[in-house]
Amino acid sequence: MPVTVEVRGRVLLVRLDRDAKLNAMDREMTLGLDAAMNRLEDDAELWVGVLTGNGRAFSAGSDLADPDRNSTERGGPYGLIRRARRKPLIAAVDGLAFGGGFEMALACDLVVASGRARFALPEVKRGLLALYGGVFRGARALPLNLAREMVLTGEPITAERAHALGLVNRLVEDGAALSEALALADSICANSPVAVRESLGIVNQANEASDALAWQLSTEAAARVRASADSREGIAAFLEKRAPVWRGR
């Protein structure tokens, strides 16, 4: 299975396990992650979730070879991006989190990362748009000018820089992101789950008050980008492993 789950006390550990594709999300992975997130929300015995990736990456984002990769009724893209969650979800990032992978980390409540983690929104390099909240969630989690730099250049930032600027809660040695995320989850589980849920709800709902407009703008912009020749060229160049030739239209 490309998505596996493990219960550790009150914590649901969810692993993206498609290392050969850098945990890029296809339809099967989306359905697996959606089922795991449904279980986290619906099981009263589970209080906190931890999401991580097996192998070299947290996730490289969408598998462009699979046009039917998302979304789901409860979670939206990847089964996670637009989910209304009541329980804390921690991202344990021990490799690259690019594109939709970074957007999944931004959809979590806390981020633990190792020194080898990298974060990027490289969609512009493929004639695409960071459609799953990366543009506006990144601008909330990071200084505005850095968020602009990431979406305009597509270049990654290091875990050290992300930690210094507040995106990453805890920075750890390589290979230690998951153990630190589980320790953080346990510290949350020591508290009242009712109080935790209500507190998280206030923080998230207040922070996301403008999301309806942001999603509308993202959808409209994505439609314009998808209709462009550049978008078709970017995807073709990626699949053919060559440099794209941009037309600007």
What tens digit of pLDDT does each residue of 118-157 get? 999 999 998 999 999 999 999 999 999 999 999 999 999 9
Which among 6, 123, 160, 240 is annotated as catalytic? 123
Distance, in Å, from the CA atom of 61 to the CA atom of 119, rounded to the nearest integer, reads: 11
Read off the pLDDT of residues 219-242 as tens digits, 9 standing for 90 and up.
899 889 889 999 998 889 888 989
- Give me the catalytic one of 41, 45, 73, 103: 103
Active site residue 123: yes
* C-beta neighbour count of 36 within 10 angstroms: 23
- As a whole number, mean pLDDT of residues 39-63 equals 97
Task: Kindly list the structural domains of the chain, giving each domain's residue range(s) and its CATH number in brackets, ordered by start.
Answer: 3-173 (3.90.226.10)
CA 166 to mean position of chain CA atoms? 16
68 pLDDT more than 80: no
Classify residue 239 by burial, with Cβ atoms within 10 Å: 0-12, 13-18, 19+: exposed
| C-alpha to C-alpha distance for 118 and 4, rounded to whole angstroms | 23
Q: Is the pTM of this model over 0.75?
A: yes
For the question of residue 6 being annotated catalytic, the response is no
